Structure 1
Amino acid sequence: MSPAGTGASPHDRRESGCPLITRARGERAATPHLPPRRFVSYKPKSRRNPKTFPVLDGRVPSVYQHVFEGNLRNSEAVIKRYSELLERVKKGGGENAIVRHTQRNKKLFVRERLRLLLDPGHFLELSPLAGLELPYGDVPAAGCLTGIGRICGVWCVFIASDATVKGGTIYPIGVKKQLRAQEIAMENRLLSVHLVDSGGAFLPLQSELFPDKLHGGRVFYNEAIMSAMGLPQVAVVCGSCVAGGAYVPTMAEESIIIDKIGTLFLAGPPLVKAATGEDVSPEDLGGARLHSQVSGCSDHFAASEEEAYECIRNVVCTLNCVPVPEEDREPDSPLYSPEELLGLAPLDYSCTLPVKLILSRLVDGSRFQEFKAPYGTTLVTGFGHVEGHLVGIVASNGELAQDAALKGSHFVQLCGQRGIPILFLQNTAPQPAGPASISQAEAHSNRLKAQASMMAAVACAAVPKITIVIGGCFGSDSYVMCGRSFSPNFLFLWPNARVALVDSRHLPTAGDCTGEELELNQLKAKLEEESSAFYSSSRLWDDGIILPQDTRKISICPGFSWG
C-alpha cells in the first residue's frame, strides 16, 4: 500500500502498490439509514487516544515458530506475484502503446495527468489489478484509473481513462470499475473528476455492457443523481469522447476541452462518411473551438493539457469546499512490528495463529479494550485506535460458534448506537460437515439462529464498515463477517486470502466420493485458481489487495474518521 501524506511522488507511491483510497477527515459517510450530509470537509474532532486500554501481548510463542515461518515464506511468494502484476498494470497498454500515445498523438500518459492534477503525496489507487486475465483477455486496470486524491486540499474521486489500453475502448470490467467509483463518491459525498479519453464501447462485447441495469447507461444515471444530491462533477475532455461517453462531460457541472487533442461527438468522421458521404475532420466535427465557441458543450477552453489541469484545480476552488486540515498530532505506533504480519497471514486455515497477535500489530500502542473477553472466544471483539481513529474491531479467531455469533451481534449493535466505525478482520473456517446425530443437529440449529441474528445486526448497523480478508472467506460465515454482499464501505484482501464457497483443500478425496477421480481433481484445480486473491481482485469482487504490513493505512479510507 502506498503511503499517504509523505510527499513522495506518485511514481514512488505506485512502486509500493496501493489499492487503497482515501477521503476527507471528519466526514460522515452516507448510508441508506441516515440522511445525507454535504460533501465538504469538516474539521475533525480532537482525537483522544487514551493510554488506559490494556496492552496486548504480541509475542509469538515458540511453539508456533514453525507455523510463523511457513506463513512468512508463503507471504513472500504471493507478494512477489502481486508486485509482478502491479508492474504489468503500470505499463498500461504496453511500451509501444505509450510511445504512440505520447509521441504520435502528443498526449500525456494517464498517470502523468494525475500527477499534474492531484496534490503531491495524496494519490491512492482503487482496484489496480482489475481486468487482468479475464476470459476476453487482459485489460490492465480495466482501462481506467480510479481512486481518491486531493485537489487543493479537497478529497475527490477520480475516474481517468487510459487510452493506451485497447485505444481507450470501454470493456465490461471498465464499466463495473467506473460504477464502483461513483458508488464510493455517493456513499462518502465526494465530488468527482473525470478525465475522458475513450473510443467508446467495445462492440463485440456490447451485450455485456449495454442492455442491463448496471451496464454503461448507469454511469449517466448516477451523474444525474449525484448532481441532485449536491455532489459536483467536473470533466476534462483530453482525447476522444465518442458515442455514449460524450454524455460524461456534457452532464458534468463544468467541463474543459483541450485544443487539438480533445474531440466530442456521438458519431465520428467514419460514420459521418458512411451516412452522408461527407469527409470531415475530427476537429471540425467536434473539436475544442467548436464546443467552446459554438455549441457551448464545454465551459472552458484549454490550449494545453497543463492548462486544463490547472483550470480544474481552479474550478475546485470555486466549489466552496473546506480544505482538509492537517492532523494535530502523530498517533502511537504498535509496540510490535507490522512487518511481522507476514508471518501471521495464514497459508491456509490450519496455519491460523491467535488473532490477538495480529491486533497487537495493527492498533495504536498495541492497546485494545476487549469486549466479553471470556465469552465466545472464537470471535474477538473490542475497541482500539488505528492511526488515532477509534474503531470497533470484529476479528475471526476460529469457527464462528453460537456464543461467538451472539457476542458479535451484541458488539455490532453497540458500535451502531455509539456511531463507531467497525473493522472486520475476516478469516472464516471452511464449512463444517453436516450433523451426525440429533444432538449435533440441535447445536447446528442454534448456531444457525445466532448467526442469522448477527447477520441482521451487521446489515442494519448504520456506521461505516471496512472488511479485510486476512485468510479465508468461505461460505455463509463470510456473510456474518460483512462480506461483499453485505455492502461494507470497503473490502480489501491480503494477498494470501482465499475467496470461495468452499475451500478446495477441504473437498472429499477420491475414495470418499462416487465421481471420477479426474473430475474431482479438475474441480479442485478450478476452485484453487478461482479462490485466489488475484482472481478476486481482477474481477472487482473487492476494492483491492493490501499488503499485511500496510494494513494500518486503512485509516485513511472514507469512514474511519466518521462521527
Structure 2
Amino acid sequence: MWAALRLAPRPCARALIPRPRAYHGDSPGRLGTQLDLGSAVYQENYEQMKALVDQLHERAEKIRLGGSQKARERHISRGKLLARERVDNLIDPGSPFLELSQFAGYKLYVNEEVPAGSIITGIGRVSGVECMIIANDATIKGGTYYPVTVKKHLRAQEIAMQNRLPCIYLVDSGGANLPFQADIFPDRDHFGRIFYNQAIMSSQNIAQVKAATKEEVSAEDLGGADLHCRKSGVTDYYALDDYHALHLTRKIVKNLNYQKKLDVTIEPSEDPLFPADELYGIVGTNLKRQFDVREVIARIVDGSRFSEFKALYGDTLVTGIKLSEK
C-alpha cells in the first residue's frame, strides 16, 4: 500500500498557473485643499502678511545698495565696480547667486548702519564650477571688518569646507574696524580664524583664489599690484582693472580641473498644485490664529506630494518626506 501511494502521481508545483501579485495603489500622496479665498480670515491674513513681505523686500533692496550714495559715488569715481557688480561680473552669465546672511548686521550697531554686515557672501557658478564667493563692500566704512563681518566670513568658509566649494575672495578692505577691535582680534573664532581656515582648506585641495581689486591701501608703493607682482612676489597675476581681475579669476577657476561629484539623482523641479501666494492668506501675522501646516507644505513641495509618517502620534508636529514623481 505504501509503495502504491509513493508511486501515485502527484500534482507538480511547477505546473500551477502563477497568479498575478496584487499591490496597493502606488499613486503618490498629495496634500492641500482649495481654500475659500473670499473669507474674511483669509483676506485679513493675506493683506497683513503681504504688507510684511513687501517691507522685507524694501529693506533687502536698501541693503543691496551698500553704503551711502556719497560713498558709492566716491567708489565709482575711482574706476572701481561696486561689490555686487563685481560678483555679477564674476559668475556665469544668467546663472543664479545664492546670497547668504543678507540681513547680517541689520540694526545691530546703534549708531551705524552696516548693510549685509559689510561683506557679501554666497554661492555662485564660475566657469561652470560652484564656488563660495566672499566680497568686501568698500562703500561701508572702507570695507572694514565689524565683529558681525568676521562671523559672516567664518560662516561662509565653514559652508565651503563642508561642501568642498572653492573659495573666491574679492578683497577691497581696510582691515579691522578699530573701535570694535576688542571683539575682532583676540578670540579663537575671530579675525585670525579666517586665515587658519584658508590654510586648512588649501591642505584639503579646496582652491582659494584671491582677487585684490586695485590697491589694498591708498599708496601703490605700500601695497599695490606693482609692488606685489614685481618685488614681493605675493601675487601671481597683474590685473589692470576690476574687469581684468575678474577675467583672470574666471580663467583660474576654469583651469582648476575641478568637478563636483553628486551622490544624488537630480530631477527637474515642479510647481506645487496650489499658488504660492496663498501662503499669505493661510499663515497671516496673528500668532494666536491657528492654521493647518499641511496646507503650507502643499504650497511648497514639488507637485504637492508628501508622505507623512507618524501621522497619528504627536499630532502637534507634522513630519514626512517629499515624494518624487516616480
**Which bin holds the TM-score, normalised by the shorter protein?**
0.7 to 0.9
In structure 1, the residue matched to 2:12 is: none
Task: Tell me the distance in 1 between the aligned counterparts of 2:179 and 2:310.
Answer: 56
| Partner residue in 1 for 2:56 | 82
Post-superposition CA distance 1:112-143 (Å, at most 9, x none): 11111001222121121212212342111111
Distance 1:319 1:304 in 2: 23
Q: CA 1:108 to 1:61, structure 2 compared with 1: closer, same or farther past 3 Å?
A: closer
Q: Which has the larger radius of gyration?
A: 2
SS in 2 for 1:370: strand
Shift of 1:151: 0.3
TM-aligned CA deviation for residue 65 of structure 1 = 3.7
Q: Does 1:368 align with 2:317?
A: no
Aligned residue type for 2:80: K
Which residue in 1 is equivalent to 2:109?
A: 135
Match of 2:297 in 1: 359
Task: Provide Cα deviations, 1:394-421, integer angstroms capped at 9, x if missing partner.
Answer: xxxxxxxxxxxxxxxxxxxxxxxxxxxx
2:79 matched residue in structure 1: 106
Q: Does 1:175 align with 2:150?
A: yes
Aligned CA distance change for structure 1 residues 94 and 218 (closer, same or farther; 3 Å): same
Q: CA deviation at 1:231?
A: 1.1
Secondary structure, aligned partner of 1:350: coil
User: TM-score by structure 2 length?
Assistant: 0.84
Q: What is the Cα deviation at residue 345 of structure 1?
A: 2.5
C-alpha separation in 2, matches of 1:146 and 1:389 = 34
Distance change in 2, residues 1:348/1:228 (3 Å): farther
Q: Is the partner of 2:274 in helix, strand or coil? A: coil
User: In the TM superposition, what is the alpha-carbon distance from 1:177 to its structure 2 partner?
Assistant: 0.9
Q: Select the structure with the greater relative contact order (CA < 8 A; seq sep ≥ 6).
A: 2
1:207 Cα deviation (Å)?
0.7
1:69 aligns with 2:43: yes
Aligned in 2, Cα 1:335/1:290: closer, same or farther, shift over 3 Å?
same
How much does 1:109 deviate?
A: 0.9
Equivalent-residue separation in structure 2 for 1:140 and 1:389 (angstroms): 41
- Is 1:303 aligned to residue 253 of structure 2? no
Q: 1:224 to 1:382 in 2, by over 3 A?
A: same
1:262 equivalent among 181, 206, 215:
215
CA contact (8 A) 1:67 1:351 kept: no
Stretches of structure 2 lacking an aligned partner (at least 5 in a row): 1-24
Superposition pairs of residues 247-258 of structure 1, within 5 angstroms: none
1:288 partnered with 2:262: no
Q: Call closer, same or farther: CA 1:299–1:383 in 2, change over 3 Å.
A: same
* Counterparts of residues 163-312 of structure 1 (less than 5 Å): 163-238=138-213, 261-263=214-216, 282-312=219-249
SS at 2:300's partner residue? Answer: coil
Partner in structure 2 of residue 148 of structure 1: 123
Partner of 2:15: none
Deviations 1:143-186 (A, max 9, x none): 11111100011111111001011111111111111111111111
The sequence identity of aligned pairs, in percent, is: 44
1:380 and 2:318 correspond: yes
Q: Secondary structure in 2 aligned to 1:338?
A: coil
Kindly state the Cα deviation for residue 61 of structure 1 after the two structures are TM-superposed: 6.0
Q: Tell me which amino acid in the other structure corresponds to 1:212.
A: D
Counting only pairs closer than 5 Å after superposition, residues 361-510 of structure 1 correspond to structure 2 as 361-385=299-323
Distance 1:211 1:112, change over 3 A: same
CA distance in 1, matches of 2:325, 2:59: 32
Root mean square deviation, CA, Å: 2.4
The alpha-carbon deviation at position 310 of structure 1 amounts to 1.0
| 1:57–1:141 Cα change, 3 Å | closer
- Distance in 1, matches of 2:270 and 2:200, equals 41
Instruction: Give the Å deviation of 1:335.
Output: 1.0
Q: Residue 150 of structure 1 aligns to which amino acid in structure 2?
A: R
Match of 2:276 in 1: 338
Deviations 1:283-340 (A, max 9, x none): 1222212211211100111112211111111111121112789x98633321111111
Deviation at 1:69, TM superposition (A): 2.5
